[in-house]
Amino acid sequence: MENSLGFILNIDGAEISSWISRYLWPFTRIAGFFMVLPLFGTRLVTQRVRLYLALFTTLVITPVLPPMPVIEALSLQTMIIIAQQLLIGVALAFVLEILMNVFIMSGQMVAMQTGLGMAMMVDPSNGVNVAVVAQWFLIFVNLLFLSLNGHLVAIEIMADSFFTMPVGVGTLSTNTLYEIARIAQWMFSAALVLALPAVSAMLVVNIAFGVMARLAPQLNIFAVGFPVTMMLGLIVLWITFSGYGDKFSGLMTEIFQFMRSYSL
C-alpha cells in the first residue's frame, strides 16, 4: 500500500502531460473521423456509441503510433493542435461522405425522370425528405460499403495518416483543401454518369410520347403517359441496377486512392 502511494506521489506534471498527450491527440483526430464517417456518423449511431468507438480505436492503435508531442495542457498551442486534428479527421471522413452522396444524387435524378420523384420518405439517418429511389440506393451502397470492408480500409487510412501527417507537424495544406473541394465537382459528374442510362432511356420514352401526341391529338397523353413512364422507369432500374455494385467498387477504390494521396 505504501509503495503504491509512493508511486502516485512521485508522478510529476511532466509525466501526466506525457500520458495525456499520448492519447489526447489521436483521440481528437479519431473522434472527428467517426463524427462524419458514413453510416457511423448518422443519427442511426448515437453520440455515445461514436465516442466509445473512438475511444476503443484510440486505445488499440496508440501503441503503434509515432511519439506524440508533449505540450502543456492549458496553452494556445494545445487548442491549435486540437483544431488541426479535428479538421484532419473530419476531412478524411468527409471524402467518403461525398462518395455516398454520389448515389443519393443519382437516385434523385432517376426518380425525377421516371416520375417516381413524388414517392418521398424521411431519411432516418439525417431527417430530411428524399426520394424512395435515392433511399434505396443509399441502403444498397451502405450495405455494400460494409460487405467490402470499406469501413476497415477507411480506419486503416486514418491510422496511417498519423505517420504521413504527424501530430503538431503535418496538417492539411491549401492544395489539399482545394482538392477536397474539387471532389464535390467530381460528385456531380459521377452521379450523372450513374444516372445516364436510366435518364437516356426515359428521354427516348418521352420523345416517343411527344410523337404520339403529335400524330394522335385526341389521345390523352398525360393520362396514358404517366403510369407508362413509371412502369418503364421501374423496368429500366431493374435492368441497370445489376451494374451498380461494380460501379460502387470502382468509385470506392478511386476515393481510397485519393485519401491515401492527399494524406502524404
Please state the pTM of the whole predicted model: 0.80
Residue with cell 458514413: 38
pLDDT digits (tens, 9 = 90+) for 73-104: 667 777 888 888 888 888 888 888 888 888 88
Distances (CA, A) of 26 to 39, 67, 74, 82, 156: 21, 11, 18, 10, 13
Which residue range(s) make up the domain with 221? Answer: 2-262
Quick one: pLDDT at residue 1? 47
Please report the pLDDT score of residue 31 as a whole number: 92
CA atoms of 98 and 210, how far apart (whole Å)? 37
Mean pLDDT, rounded, of the chain: 80
Give the torsion sign (CA, 103, 109, 110, 116). positive
- Give me the pLDDT at residue 210, please: 79
Number of domains forming the structure of the chain: 1
pLDDT in tens, the chain (264 residues): 445 444 444 555 566 667 777 888 889 989 999 998 888 887 888 888 888 999 999 999 988 888 877 777 667 777 888 888 888 888 888 888 888 888 888 888 888 887 777 777 777 767 777 788 888 888 888 888 989 888 899 989 888 888 888 887 656 667 777 777 788 778 888 888 888 888 888 888 888 877 887 777 777 777 777 777 888 888 888 888 888 888 888 888 888 888 887 654
123: nearest Cα among 133, 114, 113, 115: 133
